[in-house]
Chain A
Amino acid sequence: MNESIPAITANNVVKHYGGSASPVVALKNISLEIRDNEFFTLLGPSGCGKTTLLRLIAGFEQVTDGKIMLFDDEIANLEPSQRPVNTVFQHYALFPHMTVAQNVAFGLERLKKPRSEIETTVNEVLTLVKMKHLADRSPNQLSGGQQQRVALARALAPSPKVLLLDEPLSALDLKLRQAMREELKQLQRETGITFVFVTHDQEEALSMSDRIAVMSEGEVQQIGRPTDIYEHPVNRFVADFIGDTNFLDGEIMSIDDDLVTCRVGTQSMFEAENSGGHKVGDQVSLFLRPEKITLSPQSETIGTDTRPGKVANIIYLGNQAAYTVDIGGGIELIAQARPREDGNLPFAIGDSLAVGFSARALRVLAQ
């Protein structure tokens, strides 16, 4: 495929459910481009319209307004069966009256492929998802993970141009989910098929995607690579939804080339990176990732900005602990610390310590 033509283009897509009298607005105004061969993720909380967008692409729903194009072709008039797009359904939707192999062959049969080709392809795809040995089982004799693989094989078998995956991992348990992430990513690289992956799990999105669209209430908040989204969220929603975050609400006191100085609370002053577009007097939120904060015994100073603090609370998580630290002025920060070699935590509740972070780690967001 021509690299410059997007696999999917959505222009000002609006979707309402129900009558026009009191519609449920599922998508407000979505515009995005999904490139060919990329692993693209729609990320957002439940109810934000991810499934709706996927169903519009697959053809199960019709847009209320706007346009969706597949490789520059208008697809509004095509039935789902006429679109070179396949879906891995949220709860798999495997045909219970067919065996695994029959499920996988279904699409190829509808495309009237020759019998020999169908057999070869079914074998190949089942091998790819490591399900060949269960080809003659019925779907309801399979575990959740196995069903998920069959659903994947079934959607991949007809070699679609685009594969749509609606929270395919959400029904699996944690360990399996993590293993499947890698497999999915690898599968996408090997087949070169464009994946449109829907999830509400930010970890999943960050670990697998080439690009992510963060959605909220029927709108796209930000589109970018995982690092962009994580490090440079464009607004408070994105910053809050992706990862753990400290927000410090305050007012800009002064601005120079590199740095913005803010007053948080009544007296505490913080310096943050100047991302431009702010002016003195703006009410803003400063955002600071917990892992950018260093906790150390009181004597040492680390980072450009070091303040004294006191441990207010600890949540032990095994490989690390989340510390709530009171740094005075009514401000509490969440920070992380690893247990020491002997397994004990470095600080206890009530300990005084030094809290260090760099001004580069603080970002200014509109409130």
Chain B
Amino acid sequence: MTVHINKPATGNKAKRILPVGHYRGLGAWTVFFFIFLYLPIVVLIFYSFNANRMVMNWGGFGIDWYIKAFQNDDIQKAVWNSLIVATVATVFATAIATIGALVLARGGNFRGKTVSLGLITLPLMVPEIVTAVAVLIFFSAIGMNWGLGNVIIAHITFCIPFAFMPIRARLEGMDTSLEQAARDLYASEWETFRFVTAPLLMPGIVAGSMLSFVISMDDFIITLMVGGAGSTTLPVYIYSMIRRGLTPEINAVSTVLLFFSVAIVTAYWIVSNKSQTKTVH
């Protein structure tokens, strides 16, 4: 029997019929979409290597603005503030989210579960500016003025749901029979948690803490409103630079911050994809 592979079929392939559910132009649309999404980022990076003083006048390639940015004391201070806030907020938010997720995913059905879930995800629902106003008013009403401490508390609050979601997703995707098997094999509750649940949960915790770190590092509006004079973080500093006038120094600082975020999110992506494939096999 002969099989013709390359012979065009009986001359009626002139009009190729797309499979059901496929549409012409989707691919082109998607390309356009990604250009739109990445154009600003590319432009930003490109102009950070501008040797000219004016952002938009291309004066040749140079890394002068990076050097300038690194030598800027205010930027260094802002970076430190950002790192301190993000680190502390991440540690607390992740810890709080982890035990919250354990209760909500492993505590069975109980009264107040939906309300608890709603409360934990509340910071996602409320517009940032409202959160900012509320927290600002609250601190002023109780007369609390801890500088960076105020900012850290606000960050812990809105980072909780971001840490919570991947941890809960991981817990719910986990096979509870593993924990039952451990209990069946004479492990105490603590041993079950220590040797079964916690190691399996680790990718979720890592993912959650990475997300809350990035979210905290990137936050602008809440920090702007809550933070006082001494608690300028990097995004707030960038904002003040933009208001003072556009120089490629902004691009340089921004590019560094950008790569930092992308690196963390990529790491998060790899961790979560890996843990997914592990669960599948």
Contacts and interface: CB of A to CB of B under 8 A. Distances in A.
Pair from one complex: yes
Interface residues of A, number: 22
Given A29-B1, A80-B20, A64 B12 contact: no
B276 to A, nearest CB: 25
Nearest to B18: A79
Interface stretch (B2-10, B121-129, B140-148): B2-10
Contacts of A64: 5, 9
Do most interface residues of chain B lie in helix, strand or loop, or is the interface mixed? loop
A28 B1 contact: yes
Contacts of B7: 65
Contacts of A63: 9
A338 interface: no
Contacts of A79: 17
B10 A14 contact: no
Given A25-B3, A28-B3, A77-B15, A66 B9 contact: yes
B19 interface: yes
Do most interface residues of chain A lie in helix, strand or loop, or is the interface mixed? loop
Interface in B9-35: 9-10, 12-17, 19-20
Contacts of B3: 14, 25, 28-29, 65
Interface residues of B, number: 16
A329 interface: no
Contacts of B1: 28-29
Given A14-B4, A16-B5, A66 B10 contact: yes
Contact of A65 (B4, B15, B16): B4
Contacts of B19: 60-61
Contacts, number: 42
A116 interface: no
B9 A65 contact: yes
A277 interface: no
A76 B9 CA distance: 10
A109 to B, nearest CB: 18
A66 B16 CA distance: 16
A25 B17 CA distance: 21
A62 B5 contact: no
A80 B14 CA distance: 17
Interface in B24-57: none
A257 B115 CA distance: 89
A4 interface: no
A225 interface: no
A62 B17 contact: yes
Interface string A93-112: 00000000000000000000
Most B CB contacts (10 A, CB to CB) among A25, A64, A74 go to: A64
A20 interface: yes
11 contacts: A20-B5, A20-B6, A28-B1, A28-B3, A29-B3, A62-B17, A64-B9, A65-B10, A66-B9, A74-B12, A79-B17
Given A65-B4, A76-B9, 19 more contacts: A14-B3, A14-B4, A16-B5, A23-B5, A28-B3, A60-B20, A61-B19, A62-B17, A63-B9, A64-B5, A64-B9, A65-B5, A65-B10, A67-B9, A67-B10, A74-B12, A77-B14, A77-B17, A80-B20
Interface of B: 1, 3-7, 9-10, 12-17, 19-20
3 tightest A-B CB contacts, nearest first: A76-B12, A65-B9, A65-B4
